[in-house]
Structures are given as structure tokens and as C-alpha cells.
Homo-oligomer: A and B are copies of this chain.
Amino acid sequence: MNSKLKSLFCPESVAVIGASNSFDKLGYHVMKSLVEGKYKGRIFPVNPKAREIWDINCYPSLSAVMEPVDLAVIAVPAPFVPDTLHECGKKNVKGVVLITAGFREIEDSKGEALQEEIGRIALQYELPVIGPNTFGYVNRTFGVNASFTPEFSRMNQGGIALVSQSGGFCHLCGFLGLKQRMGISKLMSLGNRLNVGFPELLKHLVEEDEATRVIALYIEGLDNPGELLDTAKSVRGRKHIIAYKSGKSEKGDSASRFHTGSLAGDYQIWKGALRQAGILEVTSAEQMIDAAKALDVCAPLKGPRIAVLSGQAGPGMIAADAVEKAGLKLARFSAKTQETINGLLPPIAIRSNPVDMGPAWYDAKSSLEILKAAVEDENTDGVIFIAMFASANVGLAKAMAEYLKNVAPFKKPVAAVFTAPSGIWEEEIAELDGAKGISVVPTPERAGAVMGDLLRANLLCSVNA
């Protein structure tokens, strides 16, 4: 299975069965994703009614394709899926993305029967299937967008693999993550999980996918959660695993059943089980993005002592509150660091922790020296660096991006908040976000919270925790 998964996610060639030139077919959008996403392998559109699709030679059936096909993306109506899977098996396709919905998740019991039938076919040919009822997947490392959402090709390349039970969640997290410059290795929805579920993916991502450093799971409900939890335990400490569990509400169970075919289960039990399996639980898409980004690009947070450096006192106080709310504490600077800060800032500002760097607005260099001193202080474990744009401090982000070019990566995590109107600091933030161990988060509250998640993740990752 694992070698086939590798071909599924890094295909040399892709057939799109149900490819279309009509906007109102999902097969149109899959073609758009592959073509606009600049997929470098061969693309074979399959549709008996067309000669060319997206200006590419079209085949009446999969068997009419003479070359080998690694991946088949299927977007034909549900009743045609069994025959299509037989074709895939006979053609020796390595893996399938089954976008079609209308299986175990629907009210009609025929859906359940149809899913059983295709399950048997997949087993017969040992065909790994992502889906049914999926939007597909994107592999940013390999450069293939096998989904019906072309815009995912815009995402930064990085170390985060997002594996979701819901395509909608991928869109939520993906688009929010796009704006936050989240770096993705893979992003996918597993849908009804015919034969590729969380345990298989987890194993694949830990063992076979070097680009992935952080694995983020969105779970609604599983028939056999123990399998996922056991797999997580077996790979504990090798890569960070984050999970967001939904379907917590009273009505969650039935909604989950009708969404991707599994009951949601008791949330409190899930909570404890995730922790025991070494998985970091998050409770919102925003928290997932913040935590995944920081785990991907920052050094580990090895203790609770945080320095808060802020160009404005108010946001600094807010971050200080958030640090304590996250169970961490404000570091007490060493005498040497305090001396450095006192030398750079006049006594009109708060110079302990949180540090108010306001008087350095016209002198970005001082702010950066304070940052350096705080990171190097033996009494700190991590640093929050905050700057609200003001007309008078406009040079700070550029100075910081320049400064980072010439320093070694920070050995402690730095969460940075740069808040500005649209069009200001955007390039600079894009440049410094992810550089040298710095992760940019949108608010001081979330900077404090992400430090808490970094420490929890570090504790959860240790095998004996």
C-alpha cells in the first residue's frame, strides 16, 4: 500500500475520468487545477463525448490510453463508478482520487451498498482510493493539484500536511492559511475513506514523506478511532501531529454520519485519547494554522519563559496576558539583557518585560538589537515581537527583513505580530515570515496562544510523556 500511495501522490501521469469543457462539471475544475497548477507529468482527459478537453487530446475510455497511468481522478456520476474502478484496476492504475459523492454518506441505503461494492473492487485490484466524496488532493512538494480547486496551487511550499475528513475544512484552512502564508506539503480530504484513512496517511506522511514536518488532521468521526490513535502512538516523537475534532455538539453525531459516513463519538473521550496518543488538540481553524506554522518554521519551545517585545505598550500588555493565559510566564531578563535594553531605551518606557519599544520607532536598529538580546538571554525560552504599523515606524519591517538575511536561524521560537493596513508591509512580512525561525501570527492574543501550543507540542512529542 505504501509504495502505491507514493505513486498516487507523486504521479508521473494522471487520467481525469469525467474530464469536461463545461464549467458546470467538476471534471472541468479538476482539469483547470492540473493545467493551471503546471503539473509536469502527462494528463489524459477521458470523456467519450469530446475530442479535446482544455486543449489536450481526449480519450473515449481509460483503456484507450496506451501509456501507463499512475493516478486516475474520477468525477463521473456514482452509478458509473464501479465499472470505472474495474477499468482502473485492469489498466494497472496505481491510485485513485474518487471525487464522486453519493455513497455511504447519503440517506438512501443504496449509497451504503454502492460503497461496499466499490470497496470490493478496490480490494480486488489493491487500488488505494482517496474518497469517495473528496475534493481531491494537492501535493505542493511534487507540484500536482489533483483537486477541483485550482487556487490551492497558490499556496506556499512548506512542511505542513493537512489531512481532513472534510473538503470544506481544507478550503477554510487552506484559504485562511494562504493569507497567513502557511507552507504546505500536502493538503487533502479523505471523504468517506474507502480504503485510505487517517492511519494509512499518518504512516505514509511520517515514513515516506520527507517534506512533511507537521501533520494536521481534521476529524469529524471515525468508526475505529483506535487504529488512528495506535498509529499515532507508534510514530510518536517523529513528527508533530495536530488534530481538530469537530462534531462536538448534540447534533454533531448525525451531521457527521450524513457528511462522511461515521459517527462523531463522545468529545471528552476523544480529548483525552488524542492527548494520550501524543497529538496536540486545537479547537479552531485559526489555532490550527498558527500552531502548524510555528511548529513548521520555529525552533522548539523548551520552557515557559517568554519575552514580550512590543513597539506599543498596549499590544504588549495584551500579549503578556495571553502568555499567562496559555500557562506560560513572562521571563525575567538577565542583568546583561536588561542593561542592553536600558542602553537602547530611555526611562520613559516600560523596559522590563513586556518591553515597550515605542521610543525606538525612528530607529529600527534598536528594536532589532533588543530582539537579539532577548533571544540570546539564558533566562528566556521564546520571544514575542510585536509591531503595529504607524506612519512614523514604517521602516521597521524592511529593516527586520534585511537584518534577518544576515543572521543565523534563531535557536528559540519567535512569534511576530506585524499589523498594518492592506498594501503596507506586505512584501516585507512575506519575506520575514518563516525566515530564521520566525513565524508571523495575526494578533498578540494569538502570539501568546501559539507559544502555549509550541510548549504543549514539545511535551506531547516526547515518547515518555
Contact = CB atoms under 8 A, between A and B. Distances in A.
Interface of A: 23-24, 26, 29, 32-33, 101-102, 105-108, 111, 135, 148-151, 154, 164-169, 171-172, 175-176, 178-179, 218, 220, 246-252, 254-256, 258-260, 283-286, 310-318, 320-321, 323-325, 330, 347-350, 352-354, 356, 358, 362, 388-392, 419-422, 424, 442-445
B443 A284 contact: yes
A151 B394 CA distance: 12
Contacts of A284: 443, 445
What 5 pairs between A and B have smallest CB-CB spacing?
A168-B312, A166-B314, A171-B388, A168-B314, A169-B314
A443 B172 contact: yes
Contact of A312 (B111, B166, B347, B421): B166
Given A32-B391, A390-B148, A315 B178 contact: no
Contacts of A218: 314
Contacts of A246: 314, 317-318, 321
Nearest to A23: B392
16 contacts: A23-B392, A105-B348, A108-B348, A165-B314, A169-B312, A172-B388, A175-B388, A175-B389, A220-B314, A246-B321, A249-B324, A250-B330, A252-B317, A284-B445, A285-B318, A285-B444
A107 B108 CA distance: 73
A347 B102 CA distance: 10
A348 B102 CA distance: 6
Contacts of A388: 168, 171-172, 175
A318 B171 CA distance: 13
Contacts of A164: 314
B255 A172 contact: no
Contacts of A390: 29, 135, 148-149, 171
Contacts of A151: 389, 391, 421, 424
B250 A350 contact: no
Contacts of A24: 362, 392
Contact of A316 (B179, B254, B255, B352): B255
Given A251-B354, A283-B445, 4 more contacts: A24-B392, A135-B390, A148-B391, A285-B445
Contacts of A421: 151, 154, 175, 178-179
Nearest to A311: B168
A208 to B, nearest CB: 26
A272 to B, nearest CB: 18
Contact of A150 (B26, B175, B391): B391
A255 B354 contact: yes
A366 B154 CA distance: 30
A362 to B, nearest CB: 5
Nearest to A107: B347
Given A29-B392, A151-B391, A348-B107, A310 B422 contact: no
Contact of A419 (B135, B148, B171): B171
Nearest to A220: B317
Contact of A443 (B148, B258, B285, B358): B285
Contact of A148 (B254, B283, B392): B392
Contacts of A419: 171-172, 175-176
A33 B390 CA distance: 11
Nearest to A314: B166
A286 B286 CA distance: 12
A69 to B, nearest CB: 24
A2 to B, nearest CB: 27
A367 to B, nearest CB: 14
Nearest to A267: B321
A263 to B, nearest CB: 13
Contacts of A106: 347-348
Contacts of A260: 313
A29 B255 contact: no
A72 B376 CA distance: 45
Contacts of A323: 249
A453 to B, nearest CB: 16
B443 A176 contact: yes
B317 A247 contact: yes
Q: Give the one of A33, A358, A421, A442 with max B CB within 10 A.
A: A421
